[in-house]
Amino acid sequence: MILVIGAGASGLMAARDLLASGREVLVLEAAPRIGGRIHTTRSGSTHAGGSKSSVEFPYSVEAGAEFVHGDLPLTFELLTAAGIKAIPTEGQFYRSNEGQWQKENIRVKGWDKVMERMASLDEDMAVADFLSAYFGGGENERLRWAVRRFAEGYDLADIHFASTKALYREWSRDEGTQYHVDGGYGKMIDWIASEIEGMGGKIVLSAPAVAVEWAPGIVRVVTSDGRIFQGTAALITVPLGVLQAGDAGVALPIADTNVEPHRSGGPVRNGLTFDPAIPEYIQAFHALGYGSVIKLLLHFSEPFWEKEAPGLGFLISDQNLPTWWTVSGKPNLLTGWFAGPRTIPYQGKPDPELIHLGLESLAKIFHVSIAELHDQLLTYRVDDWSQDPYSLGAYSYEKVGEKPFRQILHTPVENTIFFAGEALYEGEHTPGTVEAALATGRKAAETILAAWL
């Protein structure tokens, strides 16, 4: 029996591949749902009579992963097999800076020079060091600001640690068409789960693993409520945030697993311990970069943005909550994206404060009053991923010098403990994505099969 810890994209992909090769598999999932950082839902909130109450969006929304970044092989393999369509994103791009609108997605002046310099860099360095070495001085202030915003906003990276070479690889890649998954990424996840169950695999929900006790060829996984599951090997796919939290040697208290993590009211930690300890691996978890996101989903009574930004698809601004987009087929929905180290002061803040932050930015961009926006807001959802006890952040980024550490995580512990998940991805597509997670799941299944032939 192979135990898979975590029922996100990587764990489910691996479980499906292992079952298809005739292995027995049991998946343990901490949350009361599958999908992890994929969370398609209708569940939102509203301010009915001044106090918050639950309400549904008129369509499904993506609280976590949303875009398919190009014609990605594994994602499309699954979508095709499941008969799910990918819908190319639509709409006009806008940039709003200091009250000026710009429609073309033209980068700040000097961006090409930054890319050229990045390309010719011999030795890797942190982005902050790179900027001060090659683009210091007052005349480059705006350029430095733009690079930092992009690294933080898209890659969730802290520029004091982020690898310049890794960001160059990513930024110079043409992803091609961006898609939404028809009906949501959750449909793809449900389809993989149905495949797993169809092949006799089991998925146990509300089962947060807290301890992994092992000897070569045997693993006992203990859950927060004391249940013990035994197998010959364990594939650990929990998010990097959880792996980084679990090195204190003590299992951290776990949320009431019957409560949806986001709604559980405050930060609850989650972590894993290993017995015997695997200090080299723990050190490796900490060498990798992991950032966070606050995502706002706002359903308004009317598309107030159409007046200033007709046909709005995607908007980047200089406001506190800088990035916004619409989704075709989901009328009057605006999604706000606030990411990277700049979210730290806001992490764990109550929903109304974060909604206010969003509406304040929108009010400035579109020259309307916050009160008007409040009146037009019908349903909202705030997902502060740093506070999700089962993710403790959003996705990984590459730090300078982390490669050898990621290699350690690719090395099985005595052919008994294996790791997968988006943070372990090494490949030609964008890291920190669903595709990346699926790829590591597939690769881990191959490694396990090779080890256990």
Binding site for ligand FAD (CB under 6 A): 5-11, 28-31, 36-38, 64-67, 69, 208-209, 237-239, 242, 270, 272, 293, 295, 385, 390-391, 394-395, 421-422, 432-437
Give the residue with the Cβ less far from ligand FAD, 69 or 399: 69
Toward ligand FAD, which CB reaches closer, 131 or 222? 222
Instruction: Identify which of residues 128 and 334 has a Cβ nearer to ligand FAD in the complex.
Output: 334
Q: Which is nearer to ligand FAD, 165 or 295 (CB)?
A: 295
In angstroms, the Cα distances linking 6 to 122, 260, 362 are 39, 16, 37
Burial 375-410 (b: 16+ CB within 10 A, else e): ebbbbbbbbbbbbbbbbbbbbbbbbbebeebbebbb
**Shortest distance, position 425 Cβ to ligand FAD, whole Å:** 8
Computed on alpha carbons and rounded to an integer, the radius of gyration of the chain in Å comes to: 22
* Shortest Å, Cβ 453 to ligand FAD: 25
Q: Which is nearer to ligand FAD, 90 or 308 (CB)?
A: 90
Least distance between ligand FAD and beta carbon 109 (Å): 29
d(C-alpha 129, C-alpha 114), whole Å:
13
Contacts of residue 140, defined as CB under 8 A and 6 or more positions apart, other chains included, come to: 110, 131
Query: Shortest Cβ distance from residue 436 to ligand FAD (Å)?
Result: 6
Q: Least distance from C-beta 279 to ligand FAD, angstroms? A: 19
> Which residue number, 133 or 228, has a Cβ lying nearer to ligand FAD?
228
Question: 3-class DSSP state for residue 306?
Answer: helix
In the Cβ-directed half-sphere of 423, how many Cα atoms lie within 13 Å?
31
Going 245 to 154 to 14 to 448, the CA torsion angle's sign is negative
Q: Which is nearer to ligand FAD, 55 or 327 (CB)?
A: 327
Work out how close the CB of 280 gets to ligand FAD at its nearest, in angstroms, rounded to a whole number. Answer: 21
Q: Do 273 and 43 meet the contact criterion of CB atoms below 8 Å apart?
A: no
| Residue number of the CB atom closest to ligand FAD | 8
The verdict on whether omega for the bond into residue 239 sits within 30 degrees of 0, i.e. cis, is no
Minimum distance of ligand FAD from residue 201's CB (angstroms)? 16
Residue 69 token pair: 């970044």
Contact 64, 38 (CB under 8 A): yes
